[in-house]
Structure 1
Amino acid sequence: MRKVFPFLICAAAALSFQACKKSSETFQTTAIAEYAPLVPGKYVSYAMDSLVYYTNFNASQVTISYQVKYQVDAAITDNLGRPAYRIFRYIRKTPAQPWVPDATFTGINTGDGYEFIENNYRYIKLKQPIREGFSWKGNTFIDTRSINSEVKYLDDWDYVYANVDQPAQVGSYSLDSTLTVEHRDDSLNHPITAITNFADKTVSREIYAKGIGMVYRYFLHYEYQGVNRTYNGYGVRYTMIDHN
């Protein structure tokens, strides 16, 4: 009997170690900083197509093209007292023109997520664990329900990871490791016909690449009113053209 107890103790310890090892392996996840590097001087440039909707029933979208550059400027403290980074956006119409300052944003790596503040709207762009199919409420900090909210269409969005750590072709770049964040793909009363009274459509997704950040973005939202057959909405498409 004296020899049995030490054996049982060793066996239990071994099983405990294996369980801890498996648990550790299960919860390993890619660091947020790999897909959202916040380093002063880091930039990504995009071809930006701004989509403007519509003037009458038969009109198609009007597209205006620019180039924009997002560049991490410096470490700051955000309104909640957290370490953050100021991000400048520059814009130009053609490559021959100089970059002109256009807007300022804030990026925050919270440790388990990446928040991006744009026009006073606080988005949770990325969230751990970074794994296929994981979802979270990315617009939870945005007022979408008050009577004065101008962004009710952002309400209750489920952000979902897809194609995690997969290669992707974005513009002229063949990227080794990317992920897609699907935000929304929703429509009502489509296809639109001559007897449609009301319809709407919202689509939003982004692609991130390791070591670079966001490399692609597509957003579209519009409403259709059948009374006068008009569309009201907007959209934007960003495709990476340069980075450092």
Structure 2
Amino acid sequence: MNKLFNPLPLLLAVLLFSCGEKGANFSPAAQVKDYFPVQIGKFITYRMDSTVFVRSGSAVETHQYQVKHSIADTTRDNQKRLTYIVQRQIRNADGSGNWTDNGRYYITPLDNSVEVIEDNLRVIKIAGPMLTGNTWKGNTYLPLSPYEAAFGTQAGSEMNTWVFTHKGLQGNETIGGQQYSNVWTIEQANTVRNLPPPATNPGYGSMEVSSEKYSKGIGLVYRNYQIYDFQPPNQGVPQGTYAGFGITMWMIDHN
């Protein structure tokens, strides 16, 4: 008489093999804290190109600087959460001249995200899980048109709806002539309307472009932040004018 076939040993073997194979190839998600390290005494220095609009907004200039961000102390925010105080200093782009104070901002690291408050604007800069395609509302705490009063621009009027996205991890990437390993790119916005304006019959245009790159063990190594608009000529204004600002910065030194 033929013995009945018992599938249990074969099933167990398949399960064991499958689990072992998954364990060999499984890579856990990156940790937020590894890409936004904070401690008193840490600094990062950036080269920065600042786009400004002069002559009542009719002309564009690029001003260049070095900007140093140093974690100077800690405090507690209004929710009693540990917060790091960052002192910002600025000097000439070629490294000459003394550092002069250029304001401060605040970093609040949480279990799976990091909040930054600058100019009373709170942004969730980075959030987990750090997986390609993961999204979050990083500007959810911002008011409508946060830059209209200071810069007179309508661009970014609804930036509190921006969807931040982990675009992916680069094993090696060269930024500003320096090579980094394990770089995550976070895209915050990429909307360009009617810019640059056409030479004939230009209409309203706007630029809302924002992205950041973070390197493991270092932090922010690149930022591109362009928030401005263009108003076409009209009866009261004979030439088109820009309003807003732009910042491009990349790391040149750190400890």
Normalised by the length of structure 1, the TM-score is 0.83
| Structure 1 residues 100 and 171: CA distance shift in structure 2, 3 A | same
| Structure 1 residues 149 and 130: CA distance shift in structure 2, 3 A | farther
| Structure 1 residues 216 and 100: CA distance shift in structure 2, 3 A | same
Match of 2:169 in 1: 164
Judge conservation of contact 2:145–2:159 (CA < 8 Å) in 1. no
Match of 2:252 in 1: 241
| Structure 1 residues 56 and 145: CA distance shift in structure 2, 3 A | closer
State how 1:37-186 maps to structure 2 within 5 Å. 37-53=37-53, 55=55, 61-93=60-92, 94-144=94-144, 152-186=157-191
| Structure 1 residues 159 and 96: CA distance shift in structure 2, 3 A | same
State how 1:212-223 maps to structure 2 within 5 Å. 212-223=218-229
Q: 1:145 offset after TM fit, Å?
A: 6.5
Counting aligned pairs with the same residue, the percent is: 29
State how 1:193-232 maps to structure 2 within 5 Å. 193=198, 194-226=200-232, 227=234, 228=237, 229-232=240-243
Judge conservation of contact 1:166–1:179 (CA < 8 Å) in 2. no
Judge conservation of contact 1:114–1:124 (CA < 8 Å) in 2. yes
Q: 1:149 offset after TM fit, Å?
A: 7.2
Normalised by the length of structure 2, the TM-score is 0.80
Q: Distance in 1 between matches of 2:44 and 2:63?
A: 20
Q: 1:40 offset after TM fit, Å?
A: 1.0
Q: Distance in 2 between matches of 1:69 and 1:62?
A: 22
What secondary structure is seen at the aligned counterpart in 2 of 1:38? Answer: coil
Q: 1:224 offset after TM fit, Å?
A: 1.2
Judge conservation of contact 1:32–1:109 (CA < 8 Å) in 2. no
| Structure 1 residues 26 and 138: CA distance shift in structure 2, 3 A | farther
Deviations 1:12-49 (A, max 9, x none): 9x97xx88x979x9894222111000011111001111
Return structure 1 stretches of 4+ with deviation > 4 angstroms: 54-57, 148-151
Q: CA RMSD in A?
A: 3.2
Q: 1:67 offset after TM fit, Å?
A: 0.7
* Aligned match for 1:192, one of 190, 194, 197: 197
Deviations 1:175-217 (A, max 9, x none): 0111111111112234522212311111111111111110111
Q: Distance in 1 between matches of 2:242 and 2:54?
A: 5
Deviations 1:54-91 (A, max 9, x none): 6489x662011111101112232112211111111111
Match of 2:4 in 1: none
| Structure 1 residues 40 and 191: CA distance shift in structure 2, 3 A | closer
Judge conservation of contact 2:141–2:160 (CA < 8 Å) in 1. no
Q: Distance in 1 between matches of 2:212 and 2:88?
A: 18
97-106 vs 125-134, greater mean Cα deviation: 97-106
Judge conservation of contact 1:143–1:149 (CA < 8 Å) in 2. no
Q: 1:104 offset after TM fit, Å?
A: 1.2
Q: Specify the code of the residue in structure 1 equivalent to 2:186.
A: V
Q: 1:101 offset after TM fit, Å?
A: 1.9
Structure 1 segments unaligned to the other structure (5+ residues): 1-6
Match of 1:3 in 2: none
Number of residue equivalences? 237
What secondary structure is seen at the aligned counterpart in 2 of 1:155? Answer: helix
